[in-house]
Chains A and B, each alone.
Chain A
Amino acid sequence: MLFGSILLFALVMVLFALAYIRTGWISRITPTQWIVGGGLVLPIPVLVLLTGTALVLGEQLLPHGRTPVTIEAHAARWNWTFSYPGGTTQAGDVLHMPAGQPVDILVTTEDVIHAFWVPRLGGKIDAIPGHTNTIRLEADRPGIYWGQCAEYCGIGHDIMRFRVEVHSAEDFAARFGGEAR
């Protein structure tokens, strides 16, 4: 996507320059060729391919069915509370996750809209009052990541961060319940 963009950008700028340098051939391109070539032939295949790929990818990222481990993330101004399969609930802005398996996070909120985001692990999902949203994440290996609120939620929005501790699947199962895979 990045490479394609650079190419298209370069193409437009070069054409603009050529219009002024006035090499002979460029002034012989007919109006129809400009419109059809630049406006239709060039962008349509690129866009169709790109959107198609993105949709297929998007399908794969969806939480189809249920994962063995689901964790509830509850946001309130301005901290996070996480509940685990075994029934533990921990306030204190630390999320524990098993590595190597997909995990569904059920995101809810106490008050205003927040968003759950761990940049290194994937996309974000909003916490909307009155609704429960699900996002599926998978961490490849154990380690520490950080996550944060990504929807502006008032004065404490800057500091509404949390730590993500990813454990091996066995450790996680032992501490928080749920089946290890």
Chain B
Amino acid sequence: MSAGDRRALILLIAGFTAWSFGFVLLYGLQALGCAYDWPAHRAILIAAYIVTLAPLAWLSLIKVRAEGEPASVLALSALWANRAALAAGVLTFFPATFASACI
């Protein structure tokens, strides 16, 4: 497996892996903030929202110039998957900006 191939495969799941981490992070912060009555709870949530979107945005811009058969096909799937992950991040985490965090 060449380096380019491995890269294409990793890219295919990178976006949604980042999305999963963002999900766990936000859900965790929400729970901790309520359990320990954080004063700046909302601000922390919004900051976390932005922080999780950054890698997703970056990933959805990477276009690998993959040479050769498997890598090129997978690279295109990866681009779609990473853009989907960005969109999923923007939409699913958006409630962090307004929804009631502790009731």
Contacts and interface: CB of A to CB of B under 8 A. Distances in A.
Interface of A: 48, 51, 55, 58-59, 62-64, 134
A48 B94 CA distance: 11
A59 B100 contact: yes
7 contacts: A48-B91, A51-B91, A59-B99, A62-B100, A63-B103, A64-B103, A134-B103
Nearest to B103: A62
Interface secondary structure of B, over-half rule: loop
A58 B99 CA distance: 9
A172 to B, nearest CB: 25
B72 to A, nearest CB: 18
Contacts of A64: 100, 103
A38 to B, nearest CB: 15
Contacts of B100: 59, 62, 64
Contacts of B95: 55
Nearest to B100: A62
A134 B99 CA distance: 17
Nearest to B91: A48
A59 B99 CA distance: 7
Nearest to A44: B87
Nearest to B92: A51
Contacts of A48: 91
A64 B95 CA distance: 17
Closest 6 CB pairs of A and B: A62-B103, A62-B100, A55-B95, A55-B99, A63-B103, A59-B100
Given A59-B100, A63-B103, 12 more contacts: A48-B91, A51-B91, A55-B95, A55-B99, A58-B99, A59-B98, A59-B99, A62-B100, A62-B103, A64-B100, A64-B103, A134-B103
